[in-house]
Amino acid sequence: MLSYSFYTLTAVAALLVTCHALCKCPGPGLSWRDGLKGQPHPPRLSDSQDTKFYDVLVNLKHRLSRLEGVLALKEEIREVGEKMLASNGKRVDFASALQSCEDAGGTLATPTNEEENKAILGIVKQYNQYAYLGIKEGEISGQFKYINGMPLNYTNWHRYEPNGKGREKCVEMYTDGSWNDKKCNQYRLTICEF
């Protein structure tokens, strides 16, 4: 069971990400009481609470940055474009791999260009195991889509693939970076993107 502090940290992290994206983080000269245009005002904070909250956000941002650096150094995460990729090292069926990624706040790794494919391949080679990708066959046999339903804009099929003719609905990445359609009940490495 997750602790109260975990939920608090998650909420603060979400707030930090939102503030950073909107470039509206509170700090010296900008108070939460100023609010965001068109947004309801959060509860009023005293100036001392406002400063303490800002200090917590700055500290959290610093700690998150350090954690990302450590994980990248240990090759436990890889960054490519706006995505971060990670594996738990587990081999499971497609549904379990997808669920693991969603439980962690991400989804199965889904290459949308050659650079992302190479980054995923780096993890595949690190574990020396084939991995599921976030791609499945649609309702029309032989037509594959991203798991969000969007059509593929990039492919790297192995020679003569896909060849499952409706029987192989999932996609795995080989250790050379090429793709193969595969039955979804096979155990493959889990790689998530965030």
Domain membership flag for residue 51: no
pLDDT for 184? 98
Residues of the chain with pLDDT under 50: 1-8, 22-34
Q: How far apart are CA 15 and CA 147, in angstroms?
A: 28
Q: How far apart are CA 165 and CA 186, in angstroms?
A: 17
Number of domains the chain is built from: 1
Residue 149 structural domain: 76-193
Q: How far apart are CA 189 and CA 128, in angstroms?
A: 9
Do residues 124 and 191 lie in contact, with contact meaning Cβ atoms separated by under 8 Å?
yes
Domain membership flag for residue 16: no
Domain harbouring 165, CATH code: 3.10.100.10
Domain membership flag for residue 155: yes
pLDDT for 28? 47
Domain membership flag for residue 52: no
Domain membership flag for residue 4: no
Both tokens of 192, joined, read 């998530």
Domain membership flag for residue 89: yes
Domain membership flag for residue 153: yes
Domain membership flag for residue 36: no
pLDDT for 4? 42
Hunting for tokens 């979400």 — which residue is that? 14
Cis peptide before 162 (omega within 30 of 0): yes
